[in-house]
Structure 1
């Protein structure tokens, strides 16, 4: 038995008391005595490959014990979308909005969870926060999907476990070495209009106690809209070593580099930029005893990027800015399981800096600035399982070098109402650290304000999941987020003066496969108001519909139709258009396969009906375009 298997087995054994009266369809690995096999086969279809989640408490636990509103996306679902980057994947999830979506790998898309600001969403990969310290925005268009095993999303603040994350968490779980063979892999290539291409290679395997996973990706495009060209590439590696059945050492390395055009803007001219990202981690997991585990990880990241603008027509340089952002950090965590308790106690440390060189007026005016953000934290949580109840209290205390310290409590409760239904309730206090651009560094037309405090939120959520209708899964969540100290732009700097309330409902429904076809739909309603003026907050998606139809005979053919419609509460001067639902059509034809050899031809028609769906005419959505390719596994 490998170290990973042993750890997961212990997590499952702790969950047994709850699972015995709970639901297999919500992730429990213990089949209740009252459940017949046919019933279990039906319910398993809704949660295939999603039995345990890590993000809520930073330790694996059954999803039936998770009180937060969590969505899990698997590698299988990502492949069915034929997506290129994480941004495209997230734009299919109810409650999440990614804008703009122009060219695969292009721009730096912003992400919103239940109407939050983009810098309120914390994005994590291999335990490393990949948000910039300059603006605390994550570059989702620079994250290729091939390395992703799963994405776990918490909708709403997760500060009691992760710290600064007022809007939510997007946790990217990367692939691990294939333990079933010594050498295996995949190669794929696709081409589309405007020479848009996506090329991938991965190798994975295990020899004795050593495992490896290696991936390389490249994306190119002349741009689906004017001046949105892309040229990017990345490499990723993960090595594991298990010197003993109770010990696992791991190291990861990720390097990405790219150039891209942002677009043409009448007031700003032509805009483009380049980026260079590096992430490296080294860690160890060790089982101190049957009930106590220790995890230690060190990390280094560097996120450099530049942006430039030039005049339309003449090409004269107007500005050219460069940012260098190294970060050094470490985390340690103890997981203790005894009786009805599963306790996690840990600490985080990060020291991030920024060196910025800013220019204006064609480079005739240049300035250099420096900033540093140091963060330290301790956290603890406990999952208490008793009969049909699961109670999860959590606390965390953060010290920051640029803003005030913060205490983040949370309390989650789940209750197995019946063998088909689970109820959830969650309350949490969260926060978001102002970016170094706002507090220290400044930017074009922005003066730093060193007196900024953290933005705060109290969040309340209740919901349920049920398969009472046997062949239909239904999830419903009511949410309310009361934000105070919201950063508002006043004169030429940010100040803490805003108060917002974002509340609404999420509804998701999914069928089991019938005639090899699965249908799912989601609806999100967000009511965002300024709590001082009682006016509705503009430019937040008020209603969103998501519809997916998937066909897969598991032998030769697969296909899907994915649609999204968003009604934005947009300002009139943005000249947005969102009267159409955008549909993407995907299809694949598989090769005959044997001995793990196989592949498929695939084809995608984007925006099949050539509709328009964008918030602002400065970032329009592309029209209908096509791509196709081949994927071969060995």
Structure 2
């Protein structure tokens, strides 16, 4: 459609091969195109990314450390939620503490989970009241790709000190004939994941529809889950190359959050998340595009904590959030530059109600209003690409902040890309830190944003022809880090009283297929310390390993044996365990493949060797469990 045509045209211009460029730039652009061809065997359909600069460009022109996960890779591991996918990404730390749908929050390169911005279709999924994004509640069937930036992305997206998880959903099938999928799976403890999707074009209107249900009686005590999800996207052309698009997404359910015998506590929660977008894109001239998008979301969470021994309810928390906003962007592409300038606006109203035995009901109604201006350029000078960016953010709660960044990539020969970046980033404190909750948390109205100065350098190469190697060194210096202080009345107050440093290295390796088998490995080392005390920070993953053997004969048989190991620097009182590697085995066999119809059966053995790997014994991981099902696509 029109959007796809503009992307192709923009990439050609960004690579420096459009007509009218000088001979020197054209020669260098051809060199860059050869570099991309060498890497294509490892990237497949990942070579265009939009998250770093908010407009599609080749991954060879990205200075940030970025990982892309495609729909095909999500299907290969039989993922149920976004948490299952992020669990496999190098540099992302997540504690999968239960079965399907369990509440989970990701960290990136040892960051606090509250510093990771999670988006779907450009809509933030983080709660304003606590900055958490429950990736265990986000379904995966509608996902086309996930782009993960490791490190601050504030010059493009604002509050994102730790990184970005950007979910890009599937687009309507441009073929007029309807295509779709029906999938169902069943596992132990009455676990089941049932999905359907339909996509096509009627007249000039494209559509994508998805609905599903995820259920489990619980693989651990008080670990049950029952949830529903739905998603829809409509897209049509307006005028000459213009595109109008509307989306609507919903996920909701109820679940148990395990039991803590030591604290004599058990918890349950109920959640509902609804969001919608309306966007318009139009080519103003041959080189200038205009994009306008509006969004709104409604989040609701009820949490109930009860005494395990008696069943008596101890406390209840209810959160309601209504947010709305919009973005406007102009993109200018010419022979050397690929410039995106724009503005964002967001407003959120929160109502938090807290009650506990012996205390009156507390109600607080904080709100957050923020606006921003941003500009990001990609300057292609042959094999050298320079990527400057800057953003200015204003908030009604924590003041203003400017986020400059500068990145460089260099194509070294036909096989290697060098990368380096320095960026200043920030994170808006959760509203509960600023306003308090009226019960356990005292307000800190003068709280400042947390700041980071980040440095990253690395390379990726296919020089050895038989395998791809990517290495990234990073250092994140955090200032005005927020820490809790216990007051005399028993309340906690959060203050800017710490400086931290997180530094380390990531290494990723992927081989070319040998006898239809590919080996993939990723390792992340994070040294997180207080910059003043020099003491190592607790509950930060220091070593993370991801290993996989992937088999695909391209004729219908697929297999994926994946191992995950994470070593948390946790206090001994947690009584965590993280000695064994957790292995998962995924197998799939296509039994029928016609011109438009295919039938595939699949089976997954989770925690194949019954390993125990968890941060705290109050939130353990499930033992081995098995599920299987069938997919019917047409």
- Pairwise TM-score range, normalised by the shorter structure: over 0.9
Confirm or deny: 8 A CA contact 2:544 2:564 kept in the other structure.
Answer: yes
Residue 340 of structure 2 is aligned to residue 341 of structure 1: no
Q: 1:57 corresponds to which residue?
A: 53
Residue 137 of structure 2 is aligned to residue 142 of structure 1: yes
Secondary structure of residue in 2 paired with 1:76 = helix
Q: 1:244 corresponds to which residue?
A: 239
Q: 1:300 corresponds to which residue?
A: 296
Match of 1:203 among 179, 198, 221: 198
Q: 1:5 corresponds to which residue?
A: 4
Q: 2:65 corresponds to which residue?
A: 69
Confirm or deny: 8 A CA contact 1:295 1:333 kept in the other structure.
Answer: yes
Deviations along 1:298-343, whole A, 9 cap, x unmatched?
1110111010011223221111121100001000000001221111
Deviations along 1:567-616, whole A, 9 cap, x unmatched?
11111110000000000000011022112200211000000000011111
Secondary structure of residue in 2 paired with 1:78 = helix
Q: 2:397 corresponds to which residue?
A: 402
Q: 1:373 corresponds to which residue?
A: 368
> How many Å separate the matches in 2 of 1:19 and 1:95?
37
Secondary structure of residue in 2 paired with 1:46 = helix
Unpaired runs of 5+ residues, structure 2, are 20-28, 487-491
Deviations along 1:468-501, whole A, 9 cap, x unmatched?
1012100000000000000001112100001100
After TM superposition, give the deviation of residue 556 of structure 1 in Å. 2.3
Deviates more, 1:304-313 or 1:46-55: 304-313
After TM superposition, give the deviation of residue 265 of structure 1 in Å. 1.7
Confirm or deny: 8 A CA contact 2:3 2:242 kept in the other structure.
Answer: no
After TM superposition, give the deviation of residue 357 of structure 1 in Å. 1.3
Q: 1:290 corresponds to which residue?
A: 286
Q: 2:429 corresponds to which residue?
A: 434
- The 5-angstrom pairing of residues 464-543 of structure 1 reads 464-491=459-486, 492-543=492-543
Secondary structure of residue in 2 paired with 1:399 = strand
> How many Å separate the matches in 2 of 1:123 and 1:149?
15
> How many Å separate the matches in 2 of 1:93 and 1:19?
36
Confirm or deny: 8 A CA contact 1:18 1:386 kept in the other structure.
Answer: no
> How many Å separate the matches in 1 of 2:526 and 2:224?
34
CA separation of 1:624/1:370 partners in 2, compared to 1, >3 Å: closer, same or farther?
same
Q: 2:450 corresponds to which residue?
A: 455
Matched residues, number: 621
> How many Å separate the matches in 1 of 2:455 and 2:53?
18
Secondary structure of residue in 1 paired with 2:15 = helix
> How many Å separate the matches in 2 of 1:114 and 1:367?
36
Q: 1:611 corresponds to which residue?
A: 611
- The 5-angstrom pairing of residues 122-201 of structure 1 reads 122-201=117-196
> How many Å separate the matches in 2 of 1:312 and 1:33?
62
After TM superposition, give the deviation of residue 51 of structure 1 in Å. 1.7
Confirm or deny: 8 A CA contact 1:42 1:471 kept in the other structure.
Answer: no
Confirm or deny: 8 A CA contact 1:412 1:427 kept in the other structure.
Answer: yes
> How many Å separate the matches in 2 of 1:192 and 1:443?
43
After TM superposition, give the deviation of residue 44 of structure 1 in Å. 2.4
Secondary structure of residue in 1 paired with 2:148 = strand
> How many Å separate the matches in 2 of 1:375 and 1:327?
11
Secondary structure of residue in 2 paired with 1:325 = strand
After TM superposition, give the deviation of residue 217 of structure 1 in Å. 1.4
> How many Å separate the matches in 2 of 1:581 and 1:530?
29
> How many Å separate the matches in 1 of 2:417 and 2:38?
17
CA separation of 1:330/1:42 partners in 2, compared to 1, >3 Å: closer, same or farther?
closer
* TM-score, structure 1 normalization: 0.96
Secondary structure of residue in 2 paired with 1:365 = coil
CA separation of 1:34/1:425 partners in 2, compared to 1, >3 Å: closer, same or farther?
closer
* TM-score, structure 2 normalization: 0.96
After TM superposition, give the deviation of residue 513 of structure 1 in Å. 1.1
Confirm or deny: 8 A CA contact 2:281 2:290 kept in the other structure.
Answer: yes
CA separation of 1:567/1:443 partners in 2, compared to 1, >3 Å: closer, same or farther?
farther
Q: 2:22 corresponds to which residue?
A: none
> How many Å separate the matches in 2 of 1:261 and 1:556?
38
CA separation of 1:89/1:231 partners in 2, compared to 1, >3 Å: closer, same or farther?
same
Q: 2:626 corresponds to which residue?
A: 626
Runs of 4+ in 1 over 3 A off after TM superposition: 30-35, 39-43
> How many Å separate the matches in 1 of 2:307 and 2:176?
56
> How many Å separate the matches in 2 of 1:40 and 1:515?
25
Confirm or deny: 8 A CA contact 2:161 2:451 kept in the other structure.
Answer: yes
CA separation of 1:614/1:444 partners in 2, compared to 1, >3 Å: closer, same or farther?
farther
Unpaired runs of 5+ residues, structure 1, are 21-29
Secondary structure of residue in 2 paired with 1:99 = coil
> How many Å separate the matches in 2 of 1:287 and 1:45?
32
Q: 2:25 corresponds to which residue?
A: none
Match of 1:119 among 114, 120, 137: 114
Q: 1:25 corresponds to which residue?
A: none
Confirm or deny: 8 A CA contact 1:529 1:535 kept in the other structure.
Answer: yes
After TM superposition, give the deviation of residue 42 of structure 1 in Å. 6.7
> How many Å separate the matches in 2 of 1:79 and 1:181?
25
Secondary structure of residue in 1 paired with 2:189 = helix
> How many Å separate the matches in 2 of 1:244 and 1:397?
34
After TM superposition, give the deviation of residue 419 of structure 1 in Å. 0.9
Confirm or deny: 8 A CA contact 1:18 1:385 kept in the other structure.
Answer: no
Confirm or deny: 8 A CA contact 1:345 1:380 kept in the other structure.
Answer: yes
Q: 1:47 corresponds to which residue?
A: 43
Q: 2:324 corresponds to which residue?
A: 328
Q: 2:352 corresponds to which residue?
A: 356
Q: 2:13 corresponds to which residue?
A: 14
Q: 1:560 corresponds to which residue?
A: 560
Q: 2:23 corresponds to which residue?
A: none
> How many Å separate the matches in 2 of 1:197 and 1:589?
20
Q: 2:406 corresponds to which residue?
A: 411
* Cα root mean square deviation, aligned: 1.8
> How many Å separate the matches in 2 of 1:5 and 1:175?
13
- The 5-angstrom pairing of residues 18-29 of structure 1 reads none
Secondary structure of residue in 2 paired with 1:12 = helix
Confirm or deny: 8 A CA contact 1:88 1:101 kept in the other structure.
Answer: no
> How many Å separate the matches in 2 of 1:326 and 1:34?
45
CA separation of 1:18/1:438 partners in 2, compared to 1, >3 Å: closer, same or farther?
farther
Deviations along 1:178-211, whole A, 9 cap, x unmatched?
1123311000000101111101000000123210
